[in-house]
Each structure stands twice: as structure tokens, then as C-alpha cells.
A and B are shown apart, each in its own frame.
Chain A
Amino acid sequence: MSIATDPHAKFADYAHPERLVSTDWLAAHLGEPGLVVVESDEDILLYETGHIPGAVKIDWHTDLNDEVTRDYVDGAGFARLMSAKGIGRDTTVVLYGDKSNWWAAYALWVFTLFGHRDVRLLDGGRDKWIAEGRDLTREKPAPAPTDYPVVERDDAPIRAFLPDVLDHLGKPLIDVRSPEEYTGERTHMPAYPEEGALRGGHIPTAASVPWARAAAEDGTFRNRAELEAIYLDGAGLDEGDEVIAYCRIGERSSHTWFVLTHLLGFGNVRNYDGSWTEWGNAVRVPIAKGTERGGVPAVRVR
């Protein structure tokens, strides 16, 4: 039994309005049985400084990533995590976080790898909730464990690996990093430390659409017409396109994956989570530098 969706007028224009809730909706539904609110931030301590009452925390680094292999947790690990957070297979999960839901969207994408059906984002995230002067607490809930089933992760539909990206060249690619990272001027985000990619630039043919363009000043998603202007008119995507999005480690591109999949309704969007920290270090993969997208390499070199 999932919880009723938010009938907010702005959401109705999106392809999948059931994937978003407003701060008003969440405030009205807090504490409802069958709903678990999850905060997911970049900073591992931000939740502890104050969070939405009743919300649990999921940390992208310690909870969702495998500790040894560069990969996500497996089905058993995800089931343990869900149980610990009081989430059942039928629970409605509302995710929110800092930085326009950048990390919350990443968590939502990982939930989708495990086929969790009803997972939504709080439009505007943590910042909007706080800006509206709503309640925060430092009190941590102690949820009763659930018997979440062990579901094998299904990567293929929404996750691309390096060989998939090589095969994809010629079809739309979206690079969601900053313009400086795209041109190759730098290999990390502005104001972020150097992160060890040996080469700068972008995957040939990728269009540059920095992820944050999808968010308005208050952190909410732009409306459908604005998003179409950015991704259809601007980046040249057409309805029905197969798309791969990438960034540095796959977090910012999860945000764009959410926008393309759930707000604009593209049915075949994959997130390349290896992203630039893999591509920019890989041997003999093609790279384009500068502001031009670059063409498809004539010869497969790898």
C-alpha cells in the first residue's frame, strides 16, 4: 500500500509526478505508517546537526558503497541496510538532502538498482525545508527492523560501465560536470581538491549540461518547460533517445538521471558511475578537450 502522491500542480506536468513530494506534503504526512523519510548528504555529519523529525540517515560512502570493491553494496547488504532503517519492500521512501538533493538523487538511483518501487524526492531538499523555518531535531529514531528481502541488484537498465559507454559512442551522452572540467582545464570541481584523474577533458560527443542547471535558486527542480529548453532545445536530446550521463564518480549525474527519467520521461537513461575518475585514468580511451563536443573516433582503439 503506498501512500497517496502529492497532487502539487507543478509536478503534474512531469512525466512521473509521483516521484516528487513538496515540503507541504511531507510536513502533512510525517509519521504516517508506511512512510520512511531518509536524509542523504554529502557531509557525513550534517544529519546529526539537525534533520526532519523522524528521518533516518543513509550515507552514500559508508552505507551504499562496497567497502573494498569500487561498487555498490550487494542484495544482502542492501537488505540489511533497509532493515536497519525500518524500510520494508512496500515502504514509501522520501529522500532529501543537501545541495539541491544531489546526494539524495544518488541514493534514489541506488534504491532503483534494487528495484525499490516507491521512492521519491523532496523537491528543494534540506535547504528548502530549513528556509521555510520548518522543524528540525537532533533526536534519532530507533526504527523496528524489517524483513526486507534480498533482491539482487539489476544494474543493466540504469547503470553503464566503461565498455557500454564505448559501444554507446554516437548516441547522446551528457557530461554534467562544470565547464572547466568539461574542457579539461581541470579534473575536479571548482573549489574542490584535485582528485587524481590523469587526463582532463570529456568523452567525445558528450554535450555539456552542468547538473545544477536543472535546479532553481531555491533548490527545487525547474518546471517541465524550462527543463525541456535545457535538455531538448539546448543539448539536442530527442524523445526516445538512449542517453548516458556521467560526472566524476556518478553522484551529480544521478541528479541528471532523475531529471531525464522521471521528470522528462526518457525511458532509457543510464548513469555511468565510473565517470571521469575512471575514464580520465583509463588507458587508450578517446578523450576530447576544449568546448567542442568532438566526433566519434573512426577506429575502435580499445
Chain B
Amino acid sequence: MSTLPQALAGIVEDFAALEEAQRLELLLEFSDALPELPARLADHPELLEQVAECQSPIFLALEVDPEGERAVHLFFSAPPEAPTTRGFASVLHEGLDGVPAQAVLEVPDDMPNLLGLTRAITPLRMRGMSGMLARIKRQVREALAAGAA
């Protein structure tokens, strides 16, 4: 997995080393660990983009550092009644937050399938996670383009 940033590659390895039931438990741990939105975003829901591919309401926002490695900072909001969606968001947060923009863009689009959850979790939900990743990459591209202009 040379194309995955180190933190995300580590998460994928952790999932791969487990049995399916334990993978779901690990996803629950990620769900529990999803950080709250910072106040500057929590008070401004219009700054967040809804991930329409997900069955549950989830919103994301990101910021890209203006210089240096152009590190990406991710923010998610998803309700506690949607733990699977929160878990996916949390995996992406822990795996990609602070990662240089170029490395985020190089994450393969089918990365969610590497978690070994495609049997337990319906294709619909797996597509939701792919949708989150696609939107992150699009927003990163937009941020880079805006910075270059």
C-alpha cells in the first residue's frame, strides 16, 4: 500500500489483522472517537457539505494549510444514531487529518474496501464511505486551485 499515507495504512492493517466481528468492534471504537466539530464550524452549518451518498446525515468540511506541505484538516459531523457512518468518518479523520494535500489526492478511490467490511456492511453503506472520500478529494482539489489562482 505504498499509496496510502502512513496513518491510514496503519488503520487498514489493524482492520485486516482482525476477524470480522472484531472489525465491527474496532469500527465502533472509531465511531466513539470521532471528534466534535470546533465551535467555528459547529455554529456555521452552512460551511459544511452534506455527503449525499450516505444513508445517514453526515457533513464534512476541510481546510488546507496555505503554505508548506499544504496539510489537510478534516472536520465531520454525524449523529450518534449513525454509528457506522461516524465510524467511517472517524477512520478518514484519523487516517488523513494533517496529511499533505497531494498524499490525500493519491489515496485510491476504493480504499474503503480494504477495511474488510464488505461482507458485513451493505454495499450501500460502503458506497457512502467512498462518497466521503471522493468529496474530500474534490474539496482538496478545489482548495489547491483556489490557492494557486
Contacts and interface: CB of A to CB of B under 8 A. Distances in A.
A16 interface: no
A49 interface: yes
A19 to B, nearest CB: 26
A43 B28 contact: no
B124 A43 contact: no
Given A49-B31, A193-B124, A193-B127, A43 B54 contact: no
A180 interface: no
A177 to B, nearest CB: 15
B82 A44 contact: no
Contact of A48 (B24, B55, B81, B131): B24
A193 B121 contact: no
Interface string A220-245: 00000000000000000000000000
Contacts of B82: 43
B98 interface: no
B31 to A, nearest CB: 6
Nearest to A189: B55
B131 to A, nearest CB: 7
B129 to A, nearest CB: 11
The residue among A45, A46, A192 with the most chain B CB atoms within 10 A of its own CB is A45
Contact of B124 (A45, A49, A195): A195
B92 to A, nearest CB: 16
B42 to A, nearest CB: 21
Contacts of B127: 193
Contacts of A74: none
Contacts of A42: 55
* Chain B interface category by residue count: 20 to 34
Contacts of B53: 193
A42 B24 CA distance: 15
Interface in A83-98: 98
A4 interface: no
Interface residues of A, number: 15
A43 B27 CA distance: 12
B78 to A, nearest CB: 11
Contact of B31 (A45, A61, A191): A45
A191 B24 contact: no
Contacts of A48: 24-25, 28, 83
Nearest to B127: A193
Contacts of B55: 42, 191-193
Given A61-B122, A193-B53, A193-B55, A45 B81 contact: no
A62 interface: yes
Given A62-B120, A193-B53, A49 B24 contact: no
B81 A46 contact: yes
A44 B81 contact: no
A48 B122 CA distance: 17
Contact of A49 (B28, B57, B121, B131): B28
A45 B27 contact: yes
A192 B131 CA distance: 12
Interface in B27-52: 27-28, 31-32, 52
B124 A44 contact: no
B95 interface: no
A42 B122 CA distance: 10
A45 B28 contact: yes
Interface of B: 24-25, 27-28, 31-32, 52-57, 80-85, 87, 119-122, 124, 127-128, 131
8 contacts: A42-B55, A43-B81, A43-B85, A49-B28, A61-B122, A193-B53, A193-B128, A195-B124
